Structure 1
Amino acid sequence: MEIKQIYDKALAHGSYAIESNGQIALVDPGRDPQPYLDFAQAHNGKIVAIFETHPHADFASSHLEFQKKYGADIYVNPKVGVSYDYKPMEHNDVVKIGNVEFKALFTPGHSPDHNSYLLLDEEGKEKAVFTGDSLFVGDVGRPDLREGAGNIKVSKKELAGMMYDTLNSVFSELEEDVVVYPAHGAGSLCGKNMSDDLYSTIGREKKENWAFQLKEKESFIDSYLEGQSFIPKYFPYEVELNRKGLESLDESLKKVPYLSATDTLEKGVLVIDVRDQEKYKAGHIDGAINIPNNENDKFETWLGSIVGPEEQFYLVGDTKEELDYAVKRAAKIAYESNIKGASLIPEGNLTSTEPIDLQDFKQNPDKYTIIDIRNTSEVAGGKFFDASINIPLPELRERAGEISGDKPVVVHCAGGYRSAAGSSILAQKLHVKVFDLSEAVNDFK
């Protein structure tokens, strides 16, 4: 038997491939099937089963593609209410894959239809548990994503109570040395206090995870509900998509139109410029929003937080390779069908962005309206500027009208990435100069 964690750093998403006697099971696979096909080829095995812990809110799953193209069975809790053929797995149901067994554990709390899967090795010993978004390393999955999405809609307080029961009646009963393999790590918006470690053990979590330390149910619920981050626009949409299942990635990508630098973009359609901040500021299409798409950028999260799931948009970049990369990353949250066209940046009629006069800003901050686009939870830890106004980036397009137009505007975040998007949004909304403080924000912390 071999267990391989396949980790997508941009989405902080962990999925798993488990091989036994030539048969392979996947747990919570991402949209791109290739890493799992590569694993199967390397082990001369066949992917026969997909175990879905729940309909995820933050990424699109490839479970239906594996069923339709490769004949794999999909196992999921029947409470999910899926639109595809599946094999139901309820609490304590067992499925044999090769010489190992997967035992379903009903673990609601993050969602009301959540399964975890306990892996029993060839000797029947508890080896590992794939916890999805229920138990993380150092945290538990947030309870507020299913109040308005999914087959079953439950209040976050009810879900918080379910999570308390899950921790104390299910996970606490497992052997101490069982390895915990979660669906997310630090940086995911599905929790609030995750460790940088990508796996753990039940024993370690019982000792170190805050959620196990609160023994009184009401205290646990109060602490659990407090301080959760914002919910990106695409999260409820993603839950519904994953309940239905998506077409294969390759087939969907073929439908994205590619445009040349001389093609005219339709007026009124959102334009997302995926280039570096410096290139964007040197010259961009008037009105374009800058969401940089480098390898370590959280492009998917911010695309799905700024752009609604019903909105069409153009992607623009310098090269075909740059556009291909952005299109594929958009597809990881099933936004490729929203792309009206992927276009090379035109050579003329571009708008440049005026750099901020840092010396003047440092000496005369009261001459500017300062907009802090960090999340509310970040601002609770302290402001960088006493007079700043907090409007989180995901709300900026809708709330730009709250900003007074009597002074130039300076936009900042925590490190410079989000302020590129924020300043580009306000530049098209306001009739005053808008400056991006960018990485210079570090001088003011």
Structure 2
Amino acid sequence: MIVHQFYDKGLAHASYAVIRTGRMIVIDPARDPQPYYEFANMHGADITGVIETHPHADFVSSHLEIHQTTGAVIYVSKLAGAEYPHETFDDGDVIQINDIKLKAINTPGHSPDSICILLEDEKGKDCAIFTGDTLFAGDVGRPDLRESAGNITAKKEELARDMYHSTRDKLMVLPKEVIVYPAHGPGSLCGKSMSPDLQTTIGKELRENYALQLMDELAFVKTLMADQPFMPKYFGYDVELNKMGAPGFIQSVNAVIKADADIALEHDILVIDTRPSVDYRNGHIKGSINLQDGEKFETWLGSVVAPYESFYLLAETDEALDIVIKKTAKIGYERNIKAALLIPSNATEKSPAINLEDFKAHKVDYTIIDARNWAEINSGKLFTDALTIPLPELRERISEIPANKPIVVHCAAGYRSAAAAGIISAQIKAVPVYDLSDAIKQF
């Protein structure tokens, strides 16, 4: 028996392959199915099944494409309301692969339709569990993503109560040596305090996971709902897309229009410049937003841009452009790309450079914008008088920013402030807008 984890660091997403006697089951696959095909070929296996632990909010799954390509059966809870060909997989249901079994366990909490998959080895012993977004290393899934998305909606308080019983009644009673394979690792917005471990055990989580400690239901609900991270704009959209099944990855990526660098851009369409901030500051399209390609590009794109908005996607080279197009497709936004192009010759708008010494000496003469997330802001402001507007909220809250003195934007390291400065300067032109960038480390 082979159990293999595939990990996408950009979305902190883990998917899995289970192989036994030439048959392979894929669990929670990413948008690009090619790695699963290659792994199956490497081991001389046929992909015969795909299991979705729930309709995912933070990435687009390739379950439908794998089914269409290989004929693999898609297994998902009957509660998910799946609109693609599938077999239901709920409490008591078993997938037998020769002498091993994959057993469904309904575990509502993160979503009403969440399942976990318990793996029974060839000796009849429960040896591992694939927990989706129910149980992570150091955390459990957040309960507030399904209040307005999916086949079944539920209030976060209700799902938090469900999580209490799913963990206590179904997971914590498993043998302590059972290996836990979650769908996410640290950095995912599907939880709030995941550990760096990409796998764990029931026993370790019983000892170390704050959510599995002794507490009553009311205390659990209160603890779980507190301090959850922000919800990107694309999350509800991806739930619905995964419920239907997304179109094929390669054909979707290839359908993106690649335009000449100097085409005339429509004025009412966003321009997303994915270059490093230093290059952007030295020359960019006026009014463009700097979302630098990096480990969290997908998350920030789906946090700043809504699922119904079109945008131009810019990069420095053809290779870089291909990379960001594929990353855009991982959250289902490839159809939002009006055109993808290299940096045009009229990208000559320069960002103003802040006089750090003057700012340090006369902070009162500037409007300071803190673009960090609420959890960071609540742990302490770096500048007492700063306006607190997290990046995901900024486009909707521009009117709150006064334009009577120069504006300085900061975050924790420079990524978000680069994006925020572009958003603000596109709307406020009466005063300069400065990106404090990594100089924030001096404060």
- 1:357 counterpart = 2:370: no
Tell me which residue corresponds to 1:276.
276
Tell me which residue corresponds to 2:435.
436
Tell me which residue corresponds to 1:409.
407
Kept in 1: contact 2:288–2:422 (CA 8 A)? yes
State the SS of the aligned residue for 2:180.
strand
Kept in 2: contact 1:373–1:392 (CA 8 A)? yes
In 1, Cα distance between the equivalents of 2:222 and 2:247? 40
In 2, Cα distance between the equivalents of 1:367 and 1:400? 19
Tell me which residue corresponds to 1:395.
393
Tell me which residue corresponds to 2:379.
381
Structure 1 residue 266: deviation in Å? 1.7
In 1, Cα distance between the equivalents of 2:340 and 2:97? 42
In 1, Cα distance between the equivalents of 2:12 and 2:109? 20
1:356-376 deviation per Cα after TM superposition (whole angstroms, max 9, x unaligned): 111111111111100001111
In 2, Cα distance between the equivalents of 1:417 and 1:324? 21
- Structure 2 CA distance for partners of 1:274 and 1:349, relative to 1, 3 Å: closer
- 1:151 counterpart = 2:151: yes
State the SS of the aligned residue for 2:172.
helix
State the SS of the aligned residue for 1:50.
strand
1:225-270 deviation per Cα after TM superposition (whole angstroms, max 9, x unaligned): 1111111000000000000001110111121000111221122111
Kept in 1: contact 2:76–2:88 (CA 8 A)? yes
Q: Counterpart amino acid of 1:61? A: S
Q: Counterpart amino acid of 1:302? A: W
Kept in 1: contact 2:274–2:291 (CA 8 A)? yes
State the SS of the aligned residue for 2:306.
coil
Tell me which residue corresponds to 2:80.
80
Tell me which residue corresponds to 1:57.
57
In 1, Cα distance between the equivalents of 2:289 and 2:134? 35
Q: Counterpart amino acid of 1:208? A: E
The aligned runs of 1:251-262 (5 Å cut-off) are: 251-262=251-262
In 2, Cα distance between the equivalents of 1:2 and 1:430? 57
Kept in 2: contact 1:22–1:98 (CA 8 A)? no
Tell me which residue corresponds to 1:218.
218
Equivalences, count: 442
State the SS of the aligned residue for 2:212.
helix
Q: TM-score, normalised by structure 1?
A: 0.98
Structure 1 residue 320: deviation in Å? 1.1
Structure 1 residue 414: deviation in Å? 0.9
State the SS of the aligned residue for 1:258.
coil
Q: Counterpart amino acid of 2:264? A: T
Q: Counterpart amino acid of 1:383? A: K
Q: Counterpart amino acid of 1:12? A: A
Tell me which residue corresponds to 1:181.
181
1:9-44 deviation per Cα after TM superposition (whole angstroms, max 9, x unaligned): 010001001111111111100001111112111101
RMSD of aligned alpha carbons: 0.9
Kept in 1: contact 2:285–2:346 (CA 8 A)? no
Structure 1 residue 349: deviation in Å? 5.3
In 1, Cα distance between the equivalents of 2:308 and 2:119? 39
1:312-359 deviation per Cα after TM superposition (whole angstroms, max 9, x unaligned): 000011211111001000000010010010011111352011111111
In 1, Cα distance between the equivalents of 2:99 and 2:292? 46
The aligned runs of 1:326-365 (5 Å cut-off) are: 326-348=324-346, 350-365=348-363
Structure 1 residue 100: deviation in Å? 1.6
Q: TM-score, normalised by structure 2?
A: 0.99
Q: Counterpart amino acid of 1:373? A: A
The aligned runs of 1:128-207 (5 Å cut-off) are: 128-207=128-207
- Structure 2 CA distance for partners of 1:251 and 1:349, relative to 1, 3 Å: closer
Tell me which residue corresponds to 1:367.
365
Structure 1 residue 110: deviation in Å? 0.4
Kept in 2: contact 1:136–1:182 (CA 8 A)? yes
In 2, Cα distance between the equivalents of 1:348 and 1:149? 42
State the SS of the aligned residue for 1:354.
coil
Structure 2's unaligned 5+ residue stretches are: none
Structure 1 residue 434: deviation in Å? 0.4
Q: Counterpart amino acid of 1:398? A: E
1:45-92 deviation per Cα after TM superposition (whole angstroms, max 9, x unaligned): 111110100000000000000001111100000000011110101112
In 2, Cα distance between the equivalents of 1:176 and 1:349? 58
Q: Counterpart amino acid of 1:438? A: S
Tell me which residue corresponds to 1:42.
42
Q: Counterpart amino acid of 2:218? A: E
Structure 1 residue 98: deviation in Å? 3.9
In 2, Cα distance between the equivalents of 1:73 and 1:20? 16
In 2, Cα distance between the equivalents of 1:11 and 1:128? 23
Q: Out of 120-129 and 90-99, give the one that drifted further.
A: 90-99
In 1, Cα distance between the equivalents of 2:346 and 2:184? 43
Structure 1's unaligned 5+ residue stretches are: none
1:278-332 deviation per Cα after TM superposition (whole angstroms, max 9, x unaligned): 11111001111000003xx300000000000000000011211111001000000
Kept in 2: contact 1:31–1:249 (CA 8 A)? yes
State the SS of the aligned residue for 1:259.
coil
1:195-219 deviation per Cα after TM superposition (whole angstroms, max 9, x unaligned): 0110100011011111111421101
- Structure 2 CA distance for partners of 1:214 and 1:414, relative to 1, 3 Å: farther
The aligned runs of 1:117-128 (5 Å cut-off) are: 117-128=117-128
Kept in 1: contact 2:51–2:74 (CA 8 A)? yes
Q: Counterpart amino acid of 1:314? A: Y
